[in-house]
Chain A
Amino acid sequence: MTQAARTRELIPVIGLEVHVQLETQTKIFCGCSTDTADADPNTHTCPVCLGLPGALPVLNEAAVEMAVKVGKALDAAIPEQTRFHRKNYFYPDLPKDFQITQYDNPICQDGELEITVEDSDRLIEIERAHLEEDPGSLKHAGGSIDQAEYTLVDYNRAGMPLMEIVTRPDFRGPEEVRAFLEKLTEVLEYLGVFDADRDGSLRVDANISMVSADAVAEDDSIAVATLEDTNRTEVKNISSHKGAQKALAYEITRQRNAIRRGRAVEQETRHWDESRGVTVSMRSKATEKDYRYFREADIPPLRVAGWKEQISIPELPDARRERFGTEFDLSDETASKLTATKAVADFYESLVGQFDPDFVATWTADVLLGELNYRDRSVESVDRKAFADLLELVATEAITEKNGAEVVLRSMLDDGAHPETIVEREGLGKTDADAVATAVATAIDNHPEAVADFHAGEDGALNYLVGQVMAETGGSADPQTVNQLLEEKLTS
């Protein structure tokens, strides 16, 4: 590429602020339950999370422990002590009109996470990660905030523990962002601190600017001055991996077009409108608020020196994938499927001792996950003992693989019956050799025209006879054995 062409080429530079909800039992500063999924509005509240005058926050150390686990997984530094600040701004969903968050001394600093995009590895640096409380949520009666006749506030969400993970501007494209979010949530789920299925558990803000390709150095770094001189937008309201990729792809095109047409990119906050697939201007950064951060005196500094060493974390996805590959002799693809979530990996590992590893891998990664996916169910809903019994029936050839997968497993998942019961109910027990031999003889006797066709060299004849035998045995005969027996009889 010529230098001139390179200059015209624009490269996106993206940094993320990822908010994840930590799966503590109670809120971050009070004893209210975090299990608010089906609750009526304002039923999971108390003086503290309502921000009533005189109420005081008391730090839930379980949230801090979870944050330390995350820090450990991201290879971040944990400080000697951590403390909280107030971020002051007025907003109708904010009970105290300030948010308790962390400013200096965040719980995690300088971490990293490796991602793989199109077979190449990229290391994303984590600048910091801190704890904070979630505000309440607003319900605008009759549409958007601008048009609503009135707005209702639900404080059930107020005080939910959030962790904000801030990356350095290390992303060079939307696919990297998506890969990062997938990897991050996978790690968080492995740590048992995050539930991707919880509504609103992931919220992403992305900062994005376009720099000319020749500003990117050999080692992929970009000078700080270049970034400071380049206007960027902050895209808010992203709530999924896919949404992040789409929002950023849109924003890259929008900024690139603006620059090509000679227009400046405004430094501003933009809102990702998922349904329309566009970003919309919210407010210009120039008028952004001054948050007047200062120490939260109601929460004494917490000493966390040594916590990182004391708190253990489970084996993380990368390490487990690698181990599955070598220990159980699985392909990369299968090992990846089996370690995609901790629940699946635990499920596999709990069965692998009783059977051939490759056999369990096929039945878990291909058969079971396929059926679960079709039913939009998770592996946690599967009776592990019953599944093991099913594998036992197949492994000992008491039933055929086909019946095991298509009849027994499906029925087991749908009506919860035990495999043995299903086998009996459906008469699937593999028929003994005599019965098969009898059925073969009967088929030959009863279908002379098919026998003639077979001898005339017609392709479908043998299959037809196999079908007859299978019907006779109620599907419990092994099709291959039947095939073999028929051929022997007809050609002898």
Chain B
Amino acid sequence: MSSEYNAFITDATIEGDGEGVLSGATVAVKDNISTKDVRTTCGSAMLESYEPPYDATVVRRVLDAGATIVGKANMDEFGMGGTTETSAFDPTENPRAPGHVAGGSSGGSAAAVAAGAADLALGSDTGGSIRNPAAFCGVVGLKPTYGLVSRYGLIAYANSLEQIGPIGPTVESTARLLDVIAGPDEHDGTTRTADLEGSYVDTIDGDVSGTTVGVLRNLTEGSDERVQTRFEAAIDDLRAQGASIVEIELESIEHALAAYYVIAMSEASSNLARFDGVRYGVSGGYDGDWNEAFASTRNEGFGEEVKRRILLGTYALSAGYHDKYYKKAQDARAWVKSDFTEAFTQADVLASPTMPVLAPKIGENLDDPLALYQIDANTVPVNLANVPAISVPIGEADGRPVGLQLIAPAFGEGRLFRTASALE
């Protein structure tokens, strides 16, 4: 079934050893999340034969809750892409819009759920990598608050931005998976306890009367008209169910995309340094000293997009450019954060189209990195601000699914599930 859309890089059956809320459920795991003795490639030739000697915390938690892992899902190489086309293991096709991309970077995870190859999936979201494929594939995907879910075992792309999160066919199933994976972990010093009574599943009552939804005007207006039409219809639906709608303009958002890419690439240049041939990738047989051998390994093992981001990130952190790029990006990040804090004094949740475009055809944008970076415009501000956001399906346009993004303050996942359930 998986080969149908190339949703999985590695088919595997890892039986859960516990009994719990996921007993009987199958889960697809993005291939940058470590699974003990099951190869974990990150979509890269560099890790083509890497088998981690340990399980990521989230993997332990889903297995302890009774789930069966059914495969390692395809992804853009090291998470660097929004279409799953930079994978060294070929693109994933969109089960809901054949011939089109599944989105990315967690394209395999979303496609597996959309195709019914797995009941649920784990993805990771650094700048939209869960919400983007969820929107393109017509499923639900949540990027949790930074620190809600342990990153232990998640192969880092940009560690100050990313979170592992759940993908499911419905809001309820997505909340159930979050219930299993959320919570502090002694192996991740950045995890914190959410102030939540009961479970996330309990928050789902479809009741939005009294909820104020802030529509992010500058993100909505930049979107494809077909997307805008679906989005406005969904907002009308919320209004009809008793939600108050207000319009919000975030000034800092114009700078978010640039800031995001500078920070993400800078961190990536450091996070991916360890892939030097000593323990991963092709090693030996190169002429020259160890430095030249490292360079050869990296040149051979990494794809174009990964190399581009490592080079740009290295540049942004270099002496003489650090203040101009990296430091400035951090200032912009602080601005985005304070803008969100301000926005949440006016609204309980914020809303925008998840993606400003419909899923492109496979191969359509492959040669234009800038065009690909721009489709992240609506999702990256959330990662900069460390807040949670969900993408929920709101119908189709031109035969392709459209998703709506809801954003809440830190640890406001409950509000997201409640509001999203009103749109199902």
B291 contacts A90, C-beta separation under 8 Å: yes
**Across the interface, which residues of A come within 8 angstroms of B322, CB to CB?**
292, 294
Q: Which residue of chain B lies nearest to A53 when distances are taken between CB atoms in the complex?
A: B155
- Residue-wise interface mask of A (14-42) relative to B, using a CB-CB cutoff of 8 A (1 in contact, 0 not): 00000000000000000000000000000
What is the CA–CA distance of A290 and B319 in the complex, to the nearest angstrom? 7
Q: How large is the interface on A (under 10, 10 to 19, 20 to 34, 35 or more residues)?
A: 20 to 34
- Stretch in A162-170, A297-305, A439-447 touching the partner: A297-305
**Across the interface, which residues of B come within 8 angstroms of A52, CB to CB?**
52-54
**Across the interface, which residues of A come within 8 angstroms of B276, CB to CB?**
90, 92, 97
Interface assignment of A56: CB less than 8 Å from any CB of chain B:
yes
What is the CA–CA distance of A47 and B36 in the complex, to the nearest angstrom? 12
What is the CA–CA distance of A56 and B188 in the complex, to the nearest angstrom? 6
What is the CA–CA distance of A90 and B294 in the complex, to the nearest angstrom? 9
**Across the interface, which residues of A come within 8 angstroms of B314, CB to CB?**
292
B128-152 contacts to A (CB < 8 Å): 151-152
Q: Which residue of chain A lies nearest to B319 when distances are taken between CB atoms in the complex?
A: A290
Interface assignment of B49: CB less than 8 Å from any CB of chain A:
no
A55 contacts B42, C-beta separation under 8 Å: no
What is the CA–CA distance of A59 and B187 in the complex, to the nearest angstrom? 10
**Across the interface, which residues of A come within 8 angstroms of B34, CB to CB?**
53-54
Q: Which residue of chain A lies nearest to B273 when distances are taken between CB atoms in the complex?
A: A97
**Across the interface, which residues of B come within 8 angstroms of A271, CB to CB?**
none
A285-323 contacts to B (CB < 8 Å): 290, 292, 294-295, 297-300
What is the CA–CA distance of A300 and B189 in the complex, to the nearest angstrom? 7
Interface assignment of A86: CB less than 8 Å from any CB of chain B:
yes
Classify the secondary structure of B's interface with A: loop
What is the CA–CA distance of A148 and B32 in the complex, to the nearest angstrom? 36
A52-81 contacts to B (CB < 8 Å): 52-59
A297 contacts B267, C-beta separation under 8 Å: yes
- Residue-wise interface mask of B (288-318) relative to A, using a CB-CB cutoff of 8 A (1 in contact, 0 not): 0011001000000000000000000010011
B155 contacts A90, C-beta separation under 8 Å: no
A56 contacts B151, C-beta separation under 8 Å: yes
Write the nearest CB–CB distance from A261 to chain B, whole angstroms: 34
**Across the interface, which residues of B come within 8 angstroms of A153, CB to CB?**
278
**Across the interface, which residues of B come within 8 angstroms of A295, CB to CB?**
160
Write the nearest CB–CB distance from A373 to chain B, whole angstroms: 45
Q: Which residue of chain A lies nearest to B152 when distances are taken between CB atoms in the complex?
A: A56
Classify the secondary structure of A's interface with B: loop
Q: Which residue of chain B lies nearest to A136 when distances are taken between CB atoms in the complex?
A: B278
A299 contacts B189, C-beta separation under 8 Å: yes
Interface assignment of A475: CB less than 8 Å from any CB of chain B:
no
- Residue-wise interface mask of B (254-281) relative to A, using a CB-CB cutoff of 8 A (1 in contact, 0 not): 0000000000001101100110101010
Which residue among A153, A290, A294 has the maximum number of chain B CB atoms within 10 Å of its CB? A294
Interface assignment of A95: CB less than 8 Å from any CB of chain B:
yes
Q: Which residue of chain B lies nearest to A153 when distances are taken between CB atoms in the complex?
A: B278
B273 contacts A98, C-beta separation under 8 Å: yes
**Across the interface, which residues of B come within 8 angstroms of A92, CB to CB?**
276, 278, 290
Interface assignment of B156: CB less than 8 Å from any CB of chain A:
yes
Interface assignment of B159: CB less than 8 Å from any CB of chain A:
yes
**Across the interface, which residues of B come within 8 angstroms of A300, CB to CB?**
189-190
B100-126 contacts to A (CB < 8 Å): none
What is the CA–CA distance of A294 and B267 in the complex, to the nearest angstrom? 9
**Across the interface, which residues of B come within 8 angstroms of A51, CB to CB?**
274
Interface assignment of B14: CB less than 8 Å from any CB of chain A:
no
Interface assignment of B200: CB less than 8 Å from any CB of chain A:
no
Q: Which residue of chain B lies nearest to A97 when distances are taken between CB atoms in the complex?
A: B273
**Across the interface, which residues of A come within 8 angstroms of B56, CB to CB?**
54
**Across the interface, which residues of B come within 8 angstroms of A54, CB to CB?**
32-34, 52, 56, 151-156
Which residue among B54, B160, B273 has the maximum number of chain A CB atoms within 10 Å of its CB? B273
What is the CA–CA distance of A297 and B319 in the complex, to the nearest angstrom? 20
**Across the interface, which residues of A come within 8 angstroms of B188, CB to CB?**
56, 58, 298
Interface assignment of B186: CB less than 8 Å from any CB of chain A:
yes
A57 and B270 contact, Cβ closer than 8 Å, known pairs A52-B54, A97-B276: no
Q: Which residue of chain B lies nearest to A295 when distances are taken between CB atoms in the complex?
A: B160
Interface assignment of A411: CB less than 8 Å from any CB of chain B:
no
What is the CA–CA distance of A54 and B58 in the complex, to the nearest angstrom? 12
B278 contacts A297, C-beta separation under 8 Å: no
Q: Which residue of chain B lies nearest to A87 when distances are taken between CB atoms in the complex?
A: B270
Write the nearest CB–CB distance from B284 to chain A, whole angstroms: 9
Q: Which residue of chain B lies nearest to A95 when distances are taken between CB atoms in the complex?
A: B274
Provide 22 A-B residue pairs closer than 8 Å at the C-beta atoms, listed in order of the A residue: A53-B40, A53-B42, A53-B52, A53-B155, A54-B32, A54-B153, A54-B156, A58-B186, A59-B189, A88-B270, A90-B291, A90-B294, A95-B274, A96-B274, A97-B273, A98-B270, A292-B314, A292-B317, A294-B266, A294-B270, A297-B160, A297-B190
A-B contact sample (8 more), CB < 8 A, given A54-B34, A292-B318: A52-B52, A54-B33, A56-B190, A86-B270, A92-B276, A292-B269, A294-B322, A298-B189
Q: B interface vs A, CB < 8 Å?
A: 32-34, 40, 42, 47, 50, 52-54, 56, 151-156, 159-160, 186-190, 266-267, 269-270, 273-274, 276, 278, 280, 290-291, 294, 314, 317-319, 322, 326
Pairs of residues from A and B, 7 with the lowest C-beta to C-beta distance, nearest first: A97-B273, A297-B160, A292-B317, A53-B155, A54-B153, A290-B319, A54-B34
